Amino acid sequence: MEPRLITPGQEGDYFSGEQVTAWGIDQFWGLPAYPHTPYYRTFETSVDAGAHLYEFVVPMVPPNWNERQRVEEYIALMERGTVPTAVAVSTLDVCQSALGLGDDPCAHWGLTHFLLDGHHKLEAAATTGRPVRLLSLLTLGESLATADDRARLPALRAQPRSARATGT
């Protein structure tokens, strides 16, 4: 995967972009959902005409806590062709608005990887635009997805990357 570091509320933020288009602004706060941490966006593709897959990597510590020297070491390794591996526990959540508050009724498949090991590697990959491997341990009972949904992930993940066209 090729991660992009996203700062909440800034360009590329799913929570103030695609999620607002699908579900609207939070009616109580009058603001988009706030993830409280920078995160990585890695991939997205169409599931079908009514659903889209979004993939995220959530670090367990903020990237600004990473040791700069260690990140630079991984950058140097990547520039020599090394593709490091990170490890995560992952969930697949399939959600769709029941209230019709947003402008896009598409179901969102959120494949979220909670990074256990590889924080410096992900930051180095995002900095250089180089790939990193991710060993993902997908939860079977803790996701908001069916067994059939989870079984579709390998084929969906093998599809070409494509952004959701909302028509708005």
**pTM metric for this prediction:** 0.91
Alpha-carbon distance of 49 to 20, in angstroms, equals: 19
Q: Note the pLDDT of residue 46.
A: 94
CB-CB contact of 107 with 95 (8 Å): yes
CA-based nearest residue to 121, from 66, 71, 87 = 71
In this predicted model, what pLDDT tens digit does every residue of 111-138 receive, in sequence order?
A: 999 999 999 999 999 999 999 999 999 9
Beta-carbon contacts of residue 97 (< 8 Å; ≥ 6 apart):
22, 23, 105
What are the tokens at 29? 């706060």
CB-CB contact of 120 with 65 (8 Å): no
DSSP character at residue 29: T
Please check the confidence at residue 157 and state whether its pLDDT lies above 80.
yes
Per-residue pLDDT, averaged over 89-104, amounts to 78
Least reliable range by pLDDT among 18-22, 54-58, 135-139: 18-22
**How far is CA 150 from its chain centroid?**
16
In this predicted model, what pLDDT tens digit does every residue of 6-19 receive, in sequence order?
A: 999 999 999 999 88
CB-CB contact of 1 with 18 (8 Å): no
Phi and psi at residue 105, to the nearest 5°: -80, 10
Please check the confidence at residue 167 and state whether its pLDDT lies above 60.
no
DSSP 103-165: S---EEEEEEEEEEE-HHHHHHHHHHT---EEEEEE-SSSSSS-HHHHHHHHHHHTSPP----
